[in-house]
Chain A
Amino acid sequence: MSTDLTLRDQSELNLKLEGCKLQFLDKSNDEMVLIDHIGDFYQVKFDADGRKVFDLKVSRLDTSLGGSISIPNPINITVIDEKRIFVGSNTGDAKLLGIKRKGERLSHDEKVEVTNLKDLSTIQENADDYDELDDLYGYETKNSTSSKNNKSLSDDPIMFYVNDTIVNNGPILDMAIGKSRKSSGSQTIDSALEIVASTGSEKSSSLTIFQKSLRPEVVSTLELPKSEKVWSLKLQDSEFFSKETSENLLDEYLITSTSVSSPSGESFIYKIGEEIIEIQKETAFKNDSATIVAANLLNDSVVVQITETELIAYDKNFQRRKTTKSKKNIVSAQLSGSTILTICDDNSLVIYAAETTVHGPKISIVKLPKSITELSRDNVVSSTVSQSTVLSTIRSSTKKNKRKRDEDEVIKTQSENSLEETVVCLFLKNGTLLFFLPADPVVSLVIESADAFPQILSSEAVKMETENSEHQPALIKEVLLTKMGDKVYQNEYLFFAERTGEIHIYELFLENAAPRFVKVSNLLALQKEDNEMDIESTKKIPEVTLTPTPDIDGLSGVFVTGARPYWILKNAQNPIRRFAFGGSYVSHITPFNTQLVYNGFLYCCGDNTAKVCVIPKKINLDSTWPTQKQNFGETIHSLCYHEAANVYVVSTSKIIPFDAVDEDETKIPGYDENMPAAESRKGYIKLLSSKTWDVIDEIELEDNEVALQVKSMKLEVSEQSKRTKEVIVFGTGFYRGEDLATKGEFYIYEIIEVVPEPGKPETNRKFKLIHRERVKGAVTTLCEVAGHLLVAQGPKVVVRNLQEDNSVSPVAFLDMSMYVIEAKSMKNMLMLGDAMNSISFVGFESDPYRMVLFGRDFSPVQTTAAEFIVNDKKLYFAMADVQQKLHVLQYDPDDSTSLSGQRLVRRSECFIGKQVQTMKMLPMPSGVDLFALGGSFDGSLISVIPVSEGCYRRLYVIQQQIIDKEEHNASLNPRMYRYGDTKLSSNAINRALLDYQVIDRFPSLDRTRRQKLSRRLGKKAELDILADLHRLQNIMDYF
């Protein structure tokens, strides 16, 4: 091979190409984009004449041309089409970038924002539909048509703009568990703890805060006596306002009510101003009975209050305009558009329609055809009414048939030109689902035996052969048809709530005239543990109810009220997700918009108070747990939480040029000053306030010195009084030339209280040095054991003792084979994870000081993280290695294979597909048992949880059945994925770990399938399995 290409010196770019990615941008193959490991973008341009390349030009894209976008450590650059590329990153967010030429800039700059949002939905729905994309990018078609223009543009430098981002929480290098902070001014609901993880690197580095529940920011707490339910209402003078203005209207009134079931029903009305004032006297509001529903109707011009016996319409001043008495007692009611749907106490259905006449609002009963009244008489379990497109396809098909008969109506409906209509959906006692249009009841859809929850609900569904002949009574309590999604993507979803609290969610698909509902999710109730539920609260726990929450902060979802409330939300990028709500108990929730609280919501806590909340702006709902990112800008190597001072300490580093010197600080031979220096790092230790995440204090380490691990531990300072002191300990290593011996240092600091800077109350902490000591070999890990400090320095571990006079002296040591990656302690026992030789189990004892090697694992495993698991007086070790495997070992001297304890018994091994870099021990909600939580490179958290024998057997059978009998994504085999590559011996005690990802499919199977699978375990096994899944689901509720 040879080339005619004249190579040019472009060293002024100072380009470092390790870990960079290159990709051709277009079909002409003369232009490439290059992203280096820092995340900077470069354009590589070939000058070609025919097939001969003359020149190669590399130019950096400067900041004004999209250089401000930085994607460090890119994994891939994928060209989606001529105008878009997708770039994934190991340490930062993945981004979808649009490409522009500089010349296009002026004309299309404003379009960027607009396309931003819509872009994504088009990708998801019409990934290969270019016509629509062209519509979206008007300029694109323009450019391609005027090809002349295009050619001249291609010489201009390219620029990128961000279309969309996928948040990356990885790589989690370390994590700390701290108390959840309360932001100043507004108190957040303090349910408990949070996981703070260090993610990203360099510029994209940040602290990511994981919380299991969505904790809203409480803006204010209102005293609303006897409030079980609450509605916020907005009103305007006349109904002739356009719809858009009404959306921006602020809420003016608040109606609260006792629950319908309470013996003495009462309702209250309040006006929202600076304060919330009760205005019963000035109005004709009916306050002596409980309100079932209150809502705005007819373009927000009237308020309709529905009580047990009456439907009352009020005008803007809350004077009665119209009262309609109901013949039977109403038990539930729904409103949508101008339709009011009521269900009476004999399970029958009455539909009212509201309309405006010259004399004011009018509410009249809608007459239903016989077919529907007969079906629904005394038979309705639950109903829902909404603006929906469910019946649009049926309607258009029936329209064709009807055309001849009813010309007028066709014209009318065509003129409406909107697919959305008020649709009533009824769920009947026999499990039938009935949809119809109240305006045109001929159009209807019947879906039979919906309560079996098949994967697809449609009218054509083949009737399931139910094996047990006697039909189970429907356990469904509520159905709901509503829209979910964000501004980009919205669809209609059908919800079924069971009495057990289980919720089935179906998504609507319209195709070929038959609407279908496809099961997308299945949520088990977030039940409280039985023992936690005190008698007092059981009395007033309302049944779980679904409340649609349209457009709170741009997201429409469904709120599930009850003792353990949660929010079901969906956005364009993610499947349906459930977020537990941080508040303890919610009886009713309503959106709340005032001048002060925009896009907020108000909920009743059941104890005569209501809270006005907003979702904190920073919270990201893209993962299973809500996350918050706090950008940091410097690589974080390690972090810890100091409990007494409520602060975090992080170890960070910056890139500095490497100075190749020897032990005497003289330059090594062959040093060339003109060559660009290699990279080295300089470490810092920073003290962060947990309230504001500001750096309060900082320790600068030497050049090339980086703190590898920082830990907060309670060391015993006095043997006599057993007094402990919480100190910050960190160990460092020096980056030096390979010809020099490694060295390290460890430091012990305490955190003292100082007078804060004026106006910054959080700056009241500082580091104070207790001790520092230079050691041979880098200090790779630190650990506290029985009040003493264990330092892993080079190939040995030394236990040191801190005295009252702040002197530190070594008391015991142990030699290891390579160097220690992980050290964890349990009582006075230690687990030491070696870089090459798996883990050792060691005891440490004082008086006399000694370290005893109890047992070790002899397999050549390169440990990355390890942690203890305690279950039923047995001690297990969960260990992750560089081959992305998880090992479970046990110290069991009674086992014959353990050679009386010398060998750790290998209990299980499986592939997890991610490298776990850090592990933490966490307690089980009940008992003294402990489980392990790991943070991995791809930003996910994994947990290894011990389960009881019975639970294991049940779930194991279900797992096997699901693997064998269900269909899998792309026909991949879950069993081979986990165990294909492991060499577990056939020892009976070796057991496969349960794979929650597989077992989690169980609840979403349809009813008969579930029964079939669980039949092997006994008649009532299904309930046991669901109870097991509940328990697993609630295990980390303290986050």
Chain B
Amino acid sequence: MSTILDRVTHTDRNQLEFAFEPFLKREFRFGLDPNRPICRFYVQGNCPRGNECPDKHILPTYSNKIVCKHWLRGLCKKGDACEFLHEYNLRKMPECLFFSKNGFCTQSPDCLYLHIDPMSKIPPCPNYEKGFCRQGAACPKRHVRKVLCPLFLTGFCPKGPTCENAHPKFVGIFDKLRIRPDPKNESYPSANSTTVVAEPTPTDAMPKTLIPETTSINAGLTKFEPDSSATTTTEATPVVEMDSTILANPDLDLDGSMAKKRKLA
């Protein structure tokens, strides 16, 4: 019964098939898989299979990616030979020159050309994306704030790259940035001790950590949402030795296929 309810309220009819769909494919090249391969022959100029060809026929203009401003006004005389895109997609408009120079546009709401936020032109910081950037607010690159995927954090996210949350890899983080594990004499029966055993790091030899041991790994993890404005360059940034902890923790590594999962992530 619940299936019928779902069918009434959901408008998702994608499983339906129609007898005329092959005709549409043939006649209009409509309904083909957008991820199909590009036809080699068509790129070279002529495909013998014509409309019957199952592969993608991309017009040479399409590769330009930028909408032809003359075509938009109906004035482009080049037709198929035009080096600009003849497609009504305002996401692919050329950039508004006035806006990029002055930071504002006199035509503001009606301007068809792209107004790109100057911020978005700065490339994102690769370190930040991996999990941590040492430079914090001083970093010249952009720190895009994202939510850390809790599934990824606890070991495995089934959505993989399609997940809307961030999957930071935490690679290239120097050992000295990591939270120092507990000194051995203080016996914590927690996961921290296993960390030490599993991944003996040179930290043992280092001076005492700046972070009090009470800020446990978990507390650190929940706060882990690095933001250039928030992480001010005070004496030492609290860095959480997260990746290795999780990897090393046999309790969390449920089926021992961590390596594979990391690859996925």
* A812 and B24 alpha carbons, distance in the complex (Å): 19
Contact B87 A714 (CB under 8 A): no
* A19 and B2 alpha carbons, distance in the complex (Å): 48
Residues of B within 8 A of A852 (CB): 28, 30
Contact B14 A827 (CB under 8 A): yes
Rounded to whole Å, the gap between the CB of B264 and the closest CB of chain A is 15
Contact A179 B28 (CB under 8 A): no
A852-B30, A901-B27, A923-B4 known; A812-B88 Cβ under 8 A: yes
A811-B91, A813-B88 known; A179-B16 Cβ under 8 A: no
* A811 and B89 alpha carbons, distance in the complex (Å): 4
Chain-A contact segment, one of B5-13, B43-51, B95-103, B148-156: B5-13
* A643 and B159 alpha carbons, distance in the complex (Å): 24
Task: Choose from A718, A801, A846, A875 the contact partner of B20 (Cβ within 8 Å).
Answer: A875
Residues of B within 8 A of A928 (CB): 15-16
Which A267-309 residues have C-beta < 8 A from chain B? none
* A877 and B162 alpha carbons, distance in the complex (Å): 37
A192-B1, A809-B91, A893-B20 known; A718-B28 Cβ under 8 A: no
Contact B27 A874 (CB under 8 A): no
Residues of A within 8 A of B163 (CB): 721
Contact A849 B87 (CB under 8 A): yes
Q: Tally A residues with Cβ within 8 Å of B.
A: 51
Contact A922 B23 (CB under 8 A): no
Contact B8 A1038 (CB under 8 A): yes
Residues of B within 8 A of A722 (CB): 162
Contact A873 B18 (CB under 8 A): yes
Contact B87 A854 (CB under 8 A): no
Residues of B within 8 A of A925 (CB): 4
A847-B34, A850-B87, A874-B18 known; A826-B27 Cβ under 8 A: no
A809-B90, A826-B16, A928-B15 known; A894-B23 Cβ under 8 A: yes
Residues of B within 8 A of A845 (CB): 30-31
Identify the closest chain B residue to A192 (Cβ).
B5
* A843 and B20 alpha carbons, distance in the complex (Å): 13
What class of interface size applies to chain B in its complex with A?
A: 20 to 34
Task: Choose from B18, B34, B91, B164 the contact partner of A721 (Cβ within 8 Å).
Answer: B164
Contact A828 B31 (CB under 8 A): yes
A714-B11, A873-B17, A893-B23 known; A843-B91 Cβ under 8 A: no
B236 within 8 A of A: no
Contact B5 A1038 (CB under 8 A): yes
A179-B9, A809-B90 known; A843-B30 Cβ under 8 A: yes
Which A340-383 residues have C-beta < 8 A from chain B? none
Residues of B within 8 A of A850 (CB): 87
Residues of A within 8 A of B10 (CB): 643
Q: What 0/1 pattern do residues 887 to 908 of A give for CB contact below 8 A with B?
A: 0000111100000110000000
A177-B8, A928-B16 known; A854-B91 Cβ under 8 A: no
Rounded to whole Å, the gap between the CB of B16 and the closest CB of chain A is 6
* A368 and B10 alpha carbons, distance in the complex (Å): 66
Contact B4 A843 (CB under 8 A): no
Which A718-732 residues have C-beta < 8 A from chain B? 718, 720-723
* A772 and B89 alpha carbons, distance in the complex (Å): 19
Rounded to whole Å, the gap between the CB of A868 and the closest CB of chain B is 9
Contact B89 A643 (CB under 8 A): no
Task: Choose from A179, A723, A826, A848 the contact partner of B89 (Cβ within 8 Å).
Answer: A848
Rounded to whole Å, the gap between the CB of B56 and the closest CB of chain A is 9
Which A987-1039 residues have C-beta < 8 A from chain B? 1038
Residues of A within 8 A of B162 (CB): 720-722
Contact B16 A892 (CB under 8 A): no
Contact A874 B28 (CB under 8 A): no
A189 within 8 A of B: no
Residues of A within 8 A of B4 (CB): 192, 923, 925, 1038
A685 within 8 A of B: no
A870 within 8 A of B: yes
Rounded to whole Å, the gap between the CB of A382 and the closest CB of chain B is 35
Rounded to whole Å, the gap between the CB of A794 and the closest CB of chain B is 16
A826-B13, A826-B16 known; A193-B62 Cβ under 8 A: no
Which A799-853 residues have C-beta < 8 A from chain B? 801, 809-813, 825-828, 843, 845-850, 852
Which B161-214 residues have C-beta < 8 A from chain A? 162-164
Contact A193 B164 (CB under 8 A): no
Contact A901 B20 (CB under 8 A): yes
B254 within 8 A of A: no
Identify the closest chain A residue to B35 (Cβ).
A847
Rounded to whole Å, the gap between the CB of B233 and the closest CB of chain A is 29
Residues of B within 8 A of A875 (CB): 18, 20
Contact A870 B16 (CB under 8 A): yes
A784 within 8 A of B: yes
Identify the closest chain B residue to A718 (Cβ).
B164
B19 within 8 A of A: yes
Residues of A within 8 A of B90 (CB): 809-811
* A825 and B28 alpha carbons, distance in the complex (Å): 18
The 6 A-B pairs at the shortest CB distance, nearest first, are namely A847-B34, A923-B7, A721-B162, A873-B19, A893-B23, A809-B90
Point out residues on A near B: beta carbons under 8 Å.
177-179, 192-193, 641, 643, 713-714, 718, 720-723, 774, 784, 801, 809-813, 825-828, 843, 845-850, 852, 854, 870, 873-875, 891-894, 900-901, 922-923, 925, 928, 930, 1038
Beyond A641-B9, A827-B16, A923-B7, 20 extra complex contacts between A and B, CB < 8 Å: A192-B4, A192-B5, A193-B5, A721-B162, A723-B164, A801-B91, A811-B88, A811-B89, A811-B91, A827-B14, A849-B89, A852-B28, A854-B30, A873-B18, A893-B27, A894-B23, A901-B20, A901-B27, A928-B15, A928-B16
Q: List 5 A-B contacts (CB under 8 A).
A: A179-B9, A192-B1, A810-B89, A826-B16, A930-B13
